[in-house]
Chains A and B, each alone.
Chain A
Amino acid sequence: MRSSESVERLKRWADLIGAGIFAVLFLSLVVQVVRRFVFGAPAAWTEELASIAFVWMIFWGVAFTVPLHTHVAVDLVVPYLAPHARRALYALGLAVLGGCFLWAVPGTADYLHFMMRERTPVLDWPYGVVYSVFLAAAVMVVLRCFAAIVRPEASDKA
Chain B
Amino acid sequence: MSDAFGLMLGVFVAIALLRGPIGLAMIAGGIAYLGATGRDMGLAAEQILNSLFGSFVLIAVPMFIFAANVMNAGALSERIYGLAHALMGRFRGGLAHVNVLASVIFSGMSGSAVADAVGPGMVEIEMMSKGGRYPRAFSVAVSAASATIGPIIPPSIPMVLYALVSGASVGALFLGGVLPGLLMAAAMMLVIVWIARRRNFPMEAPVPWSELPKIFVRTLLPLLMPVVLLGGIYSGVFTPTEAAAVAALYALVLALFVYRALDWRGLVSVLADSARSSAMVGIIVCGAFVFNYVLATEQIPGHIAAWFAGLDLGPAGFLLVVNLLFLVLGCLFDITTLLLVLVPLLVPVAKGLGVDLVHFGVVIVFNMMIGMLTPPYGVLLYILSGLAGTPVKDIVRELVPFIVALIVVLFLITFVPSLVLALPELAGYVR
Contact = CB atoms under 8 A, between A and B. Distances in A.
The listed residue with most A CB atoms (<10 A of its CB), out of B246, B271, B278, B280, is B271
A26 B52 contact: no
B241 A74 contact: no
A84 interface: no
Interface in A26-83: 26, 29-30, 32-33, 37, 47, 50-52, 54-55, 57-62, 65-66, 68, 70-79
A33 B245 contact: yes
A134 B45 contact: yes
A134 B22 contact: no
Nearest to A23: B271
Nearest to B32: A100
The prevalent SS among residues of B at the interface is helix
A22 B272 contact: yes
A32 B25 CA distance: 36
A152 interface: no
A103 to B, nearest CB: 6
Given A74-B332, A96-B15, A111-B46, A26 B63 contact: yes
Contact of B19 (A22, A75, A96, A111): A75
The listed residue with most B CB atoms (<10 A of its CB), out of A57, A77, A90, A106, is A57
B17 A112 contact: no
Nearest to B39: A107
Chain A, interface size category, equals 35 or more
B275 A97 contact: no
B45 A111 contact: yes
A5 interface: no
B35 A66 contact: no
B21 to A, nearest CB: 3
A29 B336 contact: no
A104 interface: yes
B330 interface: no
A21 to B, nearest CB: 6
A26 to B, nearest CB: 6
B276 A18 contact: yes
B251 to A, nearest CB: 12
B28 to A, nearest CB: 4
Nearest to A79: B19
B17 A76 contact: yes
Contacts of B46: 111
B279 A93 contact: no
B11 A73 contact: no
A93 B14 contact: yes
B20 A54 contact: no
Contact of A97 (B28, B41, B279, B333): B28
B62 A75 contact: no
A33 B280 contact: no
A101 B41 CA distance: 10
Nearest to A29: B245
A61 to B, nearest CB: 2
Nearest to B10: A96
A26 B62 CA distance: 9
B393 to A, nearest CB: 15
Nearest to A74: B16
Interface stretch (B151-159, B162-170, B281-289, B319-327): B281-289
15 contacts: A22-B62, A26-B248, A30-B249, A32-B245, A54-B58, A54-B62, A62-B283, A71-B21, A72-B284, A72-B334, A75-B377, A78-B17, A89-B18, A100-B32, A107-B44
Top 8 A-B pairs, shortest CB-CB distance: A61-B279, A107-B41, A93-B18, A111-B42, A71-B21, A58-B282, A29-B245, A100-B28
